[in-house]
């Protein structure tokens, strides 16, 4: 191995391998059922794959336009107008991205300057903070309190300063499954009114909201939409997380800055997949039925754990269920999920991984986006030990 001519100085010295990679690797090594990382173990419809093959065979295998193929951007605009009554110009206000993580990183890279403060809500998805720190931004953390993990808007107000550049929100919320309400979005609008604060709204689980509740997109609120970069994910919606395709909505001034970075860190996204997604979106039932589909799985999962000693916390959206394990063990959550994977044979994620200070509330996260037979096998293992 060659020797570097100078010492490498890490820009992210506190960052190691993500907890998702760590737990998925451990699950594979131990032959455990992987309920840790958030991906389905079932497939999308064959018709979606057939459309990809169609466009490949038709010769659409070269670069797409930087912002995304026009047909897909138009399909996104039509969906957003139908769901939220918001009009986005496909030419200047919609960009197709290489997944939501890229979209979030690019938004931060384009809009946060050294010394800017960015408010995040923790437990916070693990890509937000590194993106901010790489731009020289300063992270300010607002805590969502168990068991319902609702935002405390007075505490958020106390974090505001003249240097606040951005607030990053996530609803439905990963990892807790909390869904923000109309009151929450109105509170956010009031806090940012008459400021230059930009909102980055991570809405990748927008179609996975339960019990008849409607997703409160930032696009629903004109005052927020005017200052928001909204991120969504085809991978989450259509069960194809490995395709890594998402999109961003933003007013033209913000999107202009977003695309300046996007063109250099991605440039463009897989052409035949974009065209296939545009075709697939023509049937709105394919995203509108998702809430019922996953609500059935949530109910199945909660019923399957009802006989265990886990305390199941509220789950109003996403395909994640959090659970407190204090009736089973007093060990730290990282030790508990290690034991759960090695000895019980079921992998989960410790919520302490989503806190900057490693706060341990003895809560773990399961993913229930799995086939019923996968979940049933997990219930059997958990029932024997927990």
Q: CA-CA-CA-CA torsion for 289, 290, 293, 296, nearest 10 degrees?
A: -110
Residue 32 has pLDDT above 90, yes or no: yes
Please check whether residues 300 and 348 belong to one and the same domain: yes
> Which tokens hold the place of 328?
């089973």
Overall domain count for the chain: 2
Please check whether residues 180 and 84 belong to one and the same domain: yes
| Residue 184 forms part of a structural domain | yes
Q: What pLDDT score does 30 carry?
A: 94
Residue 5 has pLDDT above 80, yes or no: no
Q: In which domain, by residue range, is 188 found?
A: 59-283
pLDDT category, 3, cuts 50, 70, 90? low
Dihedral sign of CA atoms 122, 125, 126, 127 in order: negative
Tens digit of pLDDT for each residue in 144-158? 988 899 999 999 999
Neighbouring C-beta atoms of residue 300, cutoff 10 Å: 15
| Residue 4 forms part of a structural domain | no
Please check whether residues 216 and 91 belong to one and the same domain: yes
Please check whether residues 176 and 206 belong to one and the same domain: yes
Model pTM score: 0.96
3-state SS, residue 279: helix
Cα–Cα distance measured from residue 68 to residue 364, given in angstroms and rounded to the nearest whole number: 37
Task: Give the strand pairing for 198-202 and 228-233.
Answer: parallel
| Residue of 225 and 19 predicted with greater confidence | 225
> Which tokens hold the place of 158?
């106390």
Q: What phi and psi values does residue 27 have, to the nearest 5 degrees? A: -60, -45
Q: What pLDDT score does 23 carry?
A: 86
pLDDT category, 21, cuts 50, 70, 90? confident
Rg (CA), the chain: 21
| Residue 53 forms part of a structural domain | no
pLDDT category, 17, cuts 50, 70, 90? confident
> Which tokens hold the place of 58?
């038709």
Please check whether residues 189 and 150 belong to one and the same domain: yes
Q: What pLDDT score does 112 carry?
A: 98
Mean pLDDT of 320-337: 97
3-state secondary structure 108-170: HHHHCCCCCEEEEEECCCCCHHHHHHHCCCEEEEEECECCCCECCHHHHHHHCCCCEEEEEEE
Tens digit of pLDDT for each residue in 187-233? 999 999 999 999 999 999 999 999 999 999 999 999 999 999 999 99
Please check whether residues 197 and 333 belong to one and the same domain: no
CA 282 to chain centroid: 24
Q: What pLDDT score does 19 carry?
A: 85
| Residue 85 forms part of a structural domain | yes
Residue 4 has pLDDT above 70, yes or no: no
CATH number, domain containing residue 197: 3.40.640.10
3-state SS, residue 232: strand
Q: What pLDDT score does 9 carry?
A: 86
Mean pLDDT of 262-290: 97
């Amino acid at each position: 191995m060659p020797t570097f001519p100078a010492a490498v100085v890490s820009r992210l010295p506190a960052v190691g391998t993500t907890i998702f990679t760590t737990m998925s690797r451990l699950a594979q090594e131990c032959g455990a059922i992987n309920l840790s990382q958030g991906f389905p173990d079932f497939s999308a419809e064959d018709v979606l794959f057939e459309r990809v093959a169609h466009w490949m065979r038709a010769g659409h295998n070269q670069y797409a336009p930087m912002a995304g193929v026009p047909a897909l951007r138009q399909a996104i605009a039509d969906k957003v107008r139908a769901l939220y009554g918001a009009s986005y110009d496909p030419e200047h206000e919609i960009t197709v991205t290489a997944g939501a993580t890229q979209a979030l990183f690019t938004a931060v890279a384009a809009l946060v300057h050294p010394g800017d403060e960015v408010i995040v809500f923790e437990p916070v998805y693990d890509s937000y903070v590194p993106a901010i720190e790489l731009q020289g931004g300063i992270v300010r953390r607002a805590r969502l309190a168990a068991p319902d993990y609702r935002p405390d808007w007075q505490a958020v107000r106390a974090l505001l300063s003249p240097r606040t550049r951005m607030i990053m929100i996530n609803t439905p919320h990963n990892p807790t499954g909390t869904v923000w309400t109309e009151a929450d979005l109105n509170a956010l609008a009031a806090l940012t009114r008459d400021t230059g604060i930009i909102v980055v709204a991570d809405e990748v689980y927008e179609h996975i909201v339960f019990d008849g509740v409607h997703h409160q997109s930032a696009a629903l609120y004109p005052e927020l939409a005017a200052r928001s970069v909204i991120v969504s994910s085809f991978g989450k919606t259509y069960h194809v997380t490995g395709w890594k395709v998402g999109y961003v909505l933003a007013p033209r001034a913000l999107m202009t800055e977003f695309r300046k970075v996007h063109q250099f860190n991605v440039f463009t996204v897989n052409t035949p997949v974009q065209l296939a997604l545009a075709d697939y979106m023509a049937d709105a039932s394919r995203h509108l039925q998702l809430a019922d589909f996953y609500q059935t799985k949530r109910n199945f999962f909660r019923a399957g754990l009802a006989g265990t000693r886990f305390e199941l916390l509220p789950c109003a959206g996403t395909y994640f269920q959090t659970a407190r394990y204090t009736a089973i063990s007093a060990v730290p959550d990282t030790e508990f999920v290690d034991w759960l994977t090695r000895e019980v044979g079921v992998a989960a994620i410790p919520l302490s991984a989503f806190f900057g200070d490693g706060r341990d509330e003895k809560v773990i996260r399961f993913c229930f986006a799995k086939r019923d037979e996968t979940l049933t096998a997990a219930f059997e293992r958990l029932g024997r030990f927990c």
